[in-house]
Amino acid sequence: MFWLPLSVLAAVPLTLASPLAPRWDDFKVKHAWHDVPRNWKCEGPAPAGTTIDLRIALKPHRENALVDALYEVSSPQHAKYGAHLSKAEVAELVAPHPDTHALVNDWLSHHGVPSSSVSTSHNGGWLTVSSVPVSQADALLGASYQVYRHAETNDTLLRTVGYSLPAILHDHINTVAPSTYFGGPRAWRKTSHLTPNGKILPDGDAEIQAEIAALAKAKEASRLPGSLATVPSSCSSTITPSCLRALYNSSTYTPKATSQNVLGIAGYLEEYASHTDLKTFLTKFRSDATAAAFTVVTVNGGLDNQNSPGDEANLDIQYAESISFPTPNIYYSTGGSPPFVEDGNTPTNTNEPYLDWLQFILEQSTIPQTISTSYGDDEQTVPLDYAQSVCTLFAQLGTQGTSVLFSSGDSGVGDGSCLTNDGTNKKQFIPNFPASCPFVTAVGGTTRVNPEVAASLSSGGFSNYFPRPSYQDAQVTSFIKSIGTSFSGLYNTTGRGFPDISAQAENFQIVLSGRTESIDGTSCASPTAAAVISLLNDFRLSEGKPSLGFLNPLLYSTGTAGLNDITSGSNPGCGTTGFTAVAGWDPVTGLGTPDFGKLQAIVA
């Protein structure tokens, strides 16, 4: 059985409710920043009457149970492989200690919080305390909530640079949000950018399709081995759906389980996917799929503004649809920006995008079998307690049979000065979160064809928060040994390595407001890989088998044979050349890019 010794998941003896009255003033720091996070400036106290909604993650009674179950149902070698859990079964695994709710309720009651303002979610694993006056939040958490303004975006947040809990509650509470997480529109950066000088196809990819057909015919006649022989050289400078379907060997597969299988795209930061642009894109780049449409689901006040399409949202949905057609696609428009309205009358927007979306999706009766997300942040800017709590929510998705994929990022081994934010100002490679979470599949970037090589923008490295999981220990240890003392001290030799796999990430053709644009980023790679995984889930479901769920134990074992190993290219950053792609796993392209045909045979 696979086992992951995460600190957040390590067995911790719970403090039982004391027969004596607990000391609610015996504060112990839960999390605090050494300095105000970069680019944020304190504007002073919130206006009188401002309230805040607090979310409290409670520690489960059996803290290893969820991860144990995740690896049992995700490891091809285990007898329970594919026996995904129901929502109720997951609830049992994450249920708090029997004393936890009573103790936390006593604490809230001591501070005058009415029981009517407290609600539970995730089957009692999370509490939401609504409309808490800021002064009351300060008292509860030994905090000092203030208004902070971002120097570049001018956005404002209500946050505290540190918070504490009574000592007796540390064994019962994982995290409280919003508190010290200063993530905002620039921090939750899109890992993509428009490339106005990139090559743009004026008349669709008919020429590429014709070239693919000619190459396929030549391959058949000469019996050339391998699917890469059918990828036109023009795909090195211009990526279209035809390029990707040929490159990743999925062009001959037609989905059959379209009444069961769903592909989800998580969107944030007021990024809207345009139905009209999708129709134009498919007419130009996949004419047999023009009937494709997607459903929009709004989360936490998210909108669906069809007059303001976003390059990120359009990229995600256009490539997810064009590769997975006719699989149903859902675009989740998650609210959370602007984060704070200083009117003193309404609760602050919590602006915790992943929590907003995760709490929504985990409450649903049905969840897409594959989900792609193209957003991330520097790991060191995310409070550890918050990152750990969010990571375990991704684990819950995996146990229920959902494959979760994330872009690895666009900054190589790190962007800018790469100095730590713990007060030591030490130079260090900067990993990204949630890509560094061991319960998601992180997707790096490649470019060119015949052969593919690593894209220099592809983020990869080693987590400073999460230990290396056993499913990747052999491959990652081998890589670390192979580079010897290179970059010594710049990365965590025992951390979770990412990315896990990769896909094309440059020169993607998209349609934005009716115009064809060229776009780069691992935002291209994640929906591409997710669409291929969605086809595999379709195949499994059509054969009466369960969906794949959490992918990594499969990918690092039998699944490796279904990936195209990338052995050249690097990801420079932090003033260094970065890591280099090599045979086997590497922190640039992971295990390689998917070959649908080979993976289909493996998962059969």
- Cite the active site residues: 312, 316, 523
Residues with Cβ within 8 Å of residue 370, at least 6 apart in sequence: 262, 263, 264, 402, 403, 405, 530, 533, 534, 537, 547
Q: Which residue, chain included where needed, has tokens 């919590």?
A: 350
Residues with Cβ within 8 Å of residue 383, at least 6 apart in sequence: 31, 175, 179, 180, 181
CB 550, CB 403: distance < 8 Å: yes
- The CA-based dihedral angle spanning residues 604, 258, 434, 442, taken in that order and rounded to the nearest 10 degrees: 40
Peptide bond into 451 cis (omega under 30): yes
Residues with Cβ within 8 Å of residue 590, at least 6 apart in sequence: 442, 443, 444, 460, 498, 499, 500, 501, 502
What residues pair up with 173 in beta bridges, in sequence order? 58
As given in the structure block, the two tokens for residue 552 are 């990594």
In angstroms, the Cα distances linking 82 to 79, 544, 547 are 9, 12, 7
Distance CA 103, CA 105 (A): 5
Please tell me the chain's helix, strand, coil percentages from 3-state DSSP, rounded to the nearest 5: 30, 25, 45
**For residues 471-506, b (16+ Cβ closer than 10 Å) or e, as one string?**
bbeebbeebbeeeeeebeebbbeebbbbbbbbbbbb
What residues pair up with 166 in beta bridges, in sequence order? 27
DSSP one-letter code for 308: S
Angle, in degrees to the nearest 10, between helices 87-94 and 384-399? 140
Distance CA 106, CA 100 (A): 10
CB 2, CB 75: distance < 8 Å: yes
Count CA within 13 A, CB hemisphere, residue 509.
28
Length of the chain equals: 604
DSSP one-letter code for 18: P
Chain centre distance of CA 296: 19
